[in-house]
Structures are given as C-alpha cells and as structure tokens.
C-alpha cells in the first residue's frame, strides 16, 4: 500500500541508525508501490515526502528530493513538490552565498593567468569551514539538491518564475559550485518573453514570444527554423531533427552540426540607412548578440527584445544539442511584419540611437 510505503520511507530517512542499504531498500519498496498507484495518489505521496526535505540530516532530505525528482521526470506533477523544494534550495543558496563571499574576501587578487581559481577557492573554503560550519554544510547539500530542482524547474514554468529571485544567489557561487552554475542557467530562462526579429536586408520580420530557451545557440536555431524565407523554393535552414532537439521534442542531441546563417545584432547596431554594419566590420561586435549569452543579455526596445539578423561575419558551427533534457522550448510567431511596419521599427531605432 502506497501510504505504508511512504511512511516507511520517511521513518527510515529520519532514523539516524539507518544505513544507505536500508534507505535504498525502502525507496525501492516505495517505487514499487507508486508504480501501481493512481496519478493522484502518487502526487499526494510526493507532497507528503516534500514536507521532509528540510530534515536536519541534509543528505537524507536530499535523498527524498532525488526520489521525488525522478518521479517528476516520469510524469508526476512538479508543483506537488515545487514550493518546499524551492524553499529548501533558497535556504541552501543563501548560506552558500555567505560562504562564497567570505572566501572571496580571503583570496588575494592575482594577475597570474595560470592560477587555478577553483583550487584556490577550495583551499580557502577548507580554512574557513571551522568558523562557518553551517554555511559549509549548505554548500555540500546543494550538490545533492540541485538535480531534483532542475527536474522541477524544467517541467514547470510556474515554479521557475517563483524561484527567479534566487538567480542572484546562484550566480554568486556559480564559478565554484556546480549547483550554482546549473541553477543560475535554469533561472535565467525567460518565458512568454516578447521579441521582434528583423532581417533588414530582406525586409522580413516577425513579432513573437520565446519560452524555455537557455542560451543564444538555441535561440539562433529556433530562429533559423521559423523565420520567414524569401523565394518560393527556399529550403529548410535546419533539418527537422535538429529543430526537434532544440525544442525538447526529441533526443537531447543529434549527430548534426549546426551552422548559423546570420550574425545576430542588438537594436543599437542599426545604421542611419536602416542597414546593419558590414559583416566584416568587427568594430560593431559590441552590438553582437553572442551565442554563448542568454536572452536576458538582449536589450529591450519598446517592450520587446530586439534581434536584428545580418549576414554571418564568419562561419559559426556547433554540435546539435540542448542544455537541459526535459526543458521544452518554443519560439512562437505572433505575426509577420509588413514592410511598412519593419521600416517603422527600424526608423524608431535609428531615432532612439541618435537621441542617446
């Protein structure tokens, strides 16, 4: 019976004398019971377990979170555990950020490029541990808690939005802590974000909305897939298999290599003749939208993030793969722009650039 299996798992997690083998055994019994339960009962069991994510034994609390995260990936409701998991992550991130700040204060500045900053940080952390034991425990607990958090945030835009305020804490530790790195990336993802994309050379453009896109490699691929084409016989810019990879509809990667057809520019790159800089003008790179960046790096103009598409400055190619396996992504075209609308957008950008 699922209720008995759930209670047994909780009791074992709370038992200081229980071994890892004991935990694995009761977890397997719980998984066997949940495989025979209805979805509503399974979600109820996850809610019960989530009340114990904050066990004093952080490793046992993380074990429960990992079990729940696995079941979320198998179809259970991420919102069943989202709030208690986010609260636990918040506490751990805040304490870990305190530790990171304390370590940073102790690390001398160095101009030696060969210095391994991570190694220096770890040595400093070892020295600080005796005076910041609680913060260090949080640092180590994050290494177990971040994976179920990624599972929940991948499958629930609502939970991502609720946890967005934790991004700055994650960013403070991202350079030295794997959990901080991945949580920062996930909590940078925008949802239902308005964009305008214009290719001045062809007078083609769209108004659209983006969701679930992690980096600008992914943004570029989705633009290549959906952006209007000129000519009656224009072919696909990327194979369907590649588009599926980047939308989260297929495997996380494919054998394909992607080559961008554009250079992506911020709106400030527009010139007085409503054209973009020559693709060989590397002086304009201050206004390039770099593939390694995120949509949050793209400036907003009149309520939309602006992406101007120009000829590629040089070949840019990369392996076809997305960052997070279970995070769906989308670039929805609201409508195509007319040539008059494109001209109006570009004229207003030029005017704003001249006025600045």
pLDDT digits 0-9 by tens, 331-350: 999 999 999 999 999 999 99
Averaged pLDDT, 249-265: 95
Local confidence band at 115 (pLDDT 50, 70, 90 cut-offs): confident
Identify whether residues 110 and 221 lie together within a single domain: no
Residues 199 and 343 occupy one common structural domain: yes
Q: Which two tokens stand for residue 42?
A: 């399974």
Same domain, 178 and 200: no
The reply to whether 90 and 158 lie within a common domain is yes
The pLDDT score that the predictor gives to residue 108 is 81
Mean pLDDT, to the nearest integer, of 168-189? Answer: 96
Asked if 224 and 350 sit in the same domain, the reply is yes
Q: Which residue has the higher pLDDT, 193 or 314?
A: 193
Residue 284 pLDDT: 85
In the block, tokens 């804490």 appear at: 169
192-227 pLDDT, tens digit per residue, is: 999 999 999 999 999 999 999 999 999 999 999 999
| Same-domain status, 116 and 241 | no
Same domain, 277 and 177: no
Total count of domains within the chain: 2
Q: Say if residue 165 is in the same domain as residue 233.
A: no
**Beta-carbon count within 10 A of 277 CB:** 19
Contact indicator for 316, 291 with CB cutoff of 8 Å = yes
Domain end position, chosen among 188, 204, 237: 188
User: Mean pLDDT throughout 71-94?
Assistant: 97
Mean pLDDT of the chain: 95
One domain, residues 177 and 215: no
Work out whether the CA dihedral 148, 136, 164, 305 comes out positive or negative: negative
192, 211 contact by CB (below 8 A)? yes
Domain boundary among 160, 188, 216: 188
- 64 and 102, same structural domain? yes
Separation CA 97–CA 108 (nearest Å): 19
User: Can you give the residue range of the structural domain that contains 320?
Assistant: 193-355
127 and 3 in a single domain? The answer is yes
Last-in-domain residue among 188, 204, 229 = 188
CA 201 to CA 22: how far, in whole Å? 66
CA-wise closest residue to 262 among 334, 197, 335: 197
Residues 41 and 109 both lie in one domain: yes
């Amino acid at each position: 019976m699922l209720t008995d299996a759930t209670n047994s798992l909780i009791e074992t997690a709370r038992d200081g004398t229980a071994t890892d083998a004991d935990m694995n055994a009761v977890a397997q019994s719980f998984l066997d019971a949940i495989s025979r339960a209805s979805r509503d009962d399974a979600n109820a069991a996850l809610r019960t377990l989530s009340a114990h994510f904050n066990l004093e034994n952080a490793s046992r609390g993380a074990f429960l979170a990992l079990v729940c995260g696995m079941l979320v990936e198998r179809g259970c409701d991420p919102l069943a555990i989202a709030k208690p998991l986010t609260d636990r992550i918040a506490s751990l991130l805040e304490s870990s950020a305190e530790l990171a700040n304390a370590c940073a204060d102790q690390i001398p500045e160095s101009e030696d490029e060969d210095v391994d900053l991570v190694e220096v940080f770890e040595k400093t952390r070892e020295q600080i541990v005796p005076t910041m034991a609680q913060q260090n425990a949080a640092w180590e607990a994050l290494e177990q808690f971040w994976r179920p958090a990624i599972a929940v945030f991948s499958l629930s835009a609502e939970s991502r939005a609720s946890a967005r305020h934790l991004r700055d804490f994650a960013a403070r530790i991202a350079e030295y802590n794997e959990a901080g790195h991945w949580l920062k990336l996930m909590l940078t993802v925008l949802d239902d974000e308005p964009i305008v994309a214009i290719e001045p050379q062809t007078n083609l453009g769209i108004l659209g909305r983006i969701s679930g896109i992690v980096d600008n490699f992914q943004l570029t691929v989705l633009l290549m897939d959906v952006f209007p084409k000129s000519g009656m016989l224009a072919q696909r810019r990327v194979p369907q298999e590649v588009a599926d990879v980047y939308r989260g509809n297929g495997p996380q990667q494919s054998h394909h290599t992607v080559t961008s057809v554009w250079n992506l520019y911020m709106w400030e790159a527009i010139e007085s003749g409503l054209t973009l800089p020559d693709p060989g003008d590397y002086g304009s790179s201050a206004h390039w939208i770099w593939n390694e960046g995120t949509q949050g790096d793209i400036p907003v103009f009149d309520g939309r993030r602006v992406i101007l598409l120009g000829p590629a400055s040089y070949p840019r190619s990369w392996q076809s793969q997305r960052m997070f396996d279970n995070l769906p992504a989308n670039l929805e075209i609201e409508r195509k722009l007319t040539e008059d609308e494109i001209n109006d957008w570009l004229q207003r950008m030029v005017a704003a650039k001249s006025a600045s």
